[in-house]
Structure 1
């Protein structure tokens, strides 16, 4: 099928991904059809296959992009050496990064079950890299006597769940700013490990 007049891959491709992200976050991956995505973008359903092989590939690409962006942003973040200050900085980073992307975060956590085994393995490996960065902070703090953590892996997962939960309730214009929320969560993260 020919491209719609005025359609350009560098414009339409990102619009396809943005529409899919919005629809997957609103309705769930399983409930969204390629026809719905096409209608949202304003192209024929068949034209979507110029931009993605199938809906599964689109989901995996959205999750991969999110995890790639997260890992790259974390790598670029300046982190203090002190474990307590590092944990607080990690918490602030996590809140700041995730509040900018609530739809991507929702998909990254809630749609794992819809990935094929190969895609799941790839995305899970990227998630593990992020978890490992936090666990390294907890191990360093425990070794230095700054934290009291009986199981660093469990504490890592609990902290990530707590920090990520912000995206489900935070609304712009509420009584707390994003910076206020990040500061409070950083303090709670440190206290939760005995700092």
Structure 2
């Protein structure tokens, strides 16, 4: 495939990331070669080094950009949500699921190629993942403090919630019987009703939900 007429550095750099993401997702980081990447982009292999230093740097940049987008968009979703903890948790769940269903390649690579990162890159990404997990843990802690949630261990609960929500990426199919909105609804129902425990004197949790949240 020949180089496209009129291409420039910015477009080529974007193409390298886009094609690199697809090839790593399809073939795995170790199996993907820079020669293959260059051929798919339509440039000479030597020209790749005008845009990336190494294959390792490309992987790191792809995962880092994914985590930066996830953190920024999550903060925006939480900032736009009502003040009630249950509403903020609803916003977190909704954004997490929709983002992960729409970014399946990025999510897969961030989870399964994390081990391929060199130590300094690995530490950077793990710190970003901890920051993301911290958003959810803080919500659960706030819900417990406000008496809205009954949770024995908010950290373990956060890990369980994230595993369940992210797991939708592995089975959801756009052509399947559930829409994205229905997937969100089912998961928010499970999470919210799992967190809203039966405190002494509290109403039945099956009748307790934030405004605008329909039960599945």
Question: TM-score, normalization: structure 1?
Answer: 0.93
Deviation at 1:28, TM superposition (A): 1.2
Gaps of 5+ in 1: none
Q: Is the 8 A contact 1:135 1:152 kept in 2?
A: yes
**Structure 2 equivalent of residue 95 of structure 1:** 97
Residues 96-111 of structure 1 correspond to what in structure 2 (within 5 A)? Answer: 96-111=98-113
Cα distance in 2 between the residues matched to 1:36 and 1:154: 42
Call closer, same or farther: CA 1:141–1:153 in 2, change over 3 Å. same
Deviation at 1:6, TM superposition (A): 4.0
**Structure 1 equivalent of residue 21 of structure 2:** 21
Residues 69-148 of structure 1 correspond to what in structure 2 (within 5 A)? Answer: 69-77=69-77, 78-148=80-150
Q: Is the 8 A contact 1:92 1:186 kept in 2?
A: yes
CA RMSD of aligned residues (A): 1.5
Deviation at 1:148, TM superposition (A): 2.0
Call closer, same or farther: CA 1:181–1:4 in 2, change over 3 Å. closer
Q: Is the 8 A contact 1:88 1:187 kept in 2?
A: no
Cα distance in 1 between the residues matched to 2:32 and 2:107: 18
> Could you say which structure has the higher helix fraction?
1
Which structure 1 residue ranges, 4+ long, deviate > 2 Å from structure 2? 3-7, 191-195
Residues 164-183 of structure 1 correspond to what in structure 2 (within 5 A)? Answer: 164-183=166-185
Q: How many residues are matched? A: 193
Deviation at 1:85, TM superposition (A): 2.2
**Structure 1 equivalent of residue 63 of structure 2:** 63
Question: TM-score, normalization: structure 2?
Answer: 0.85
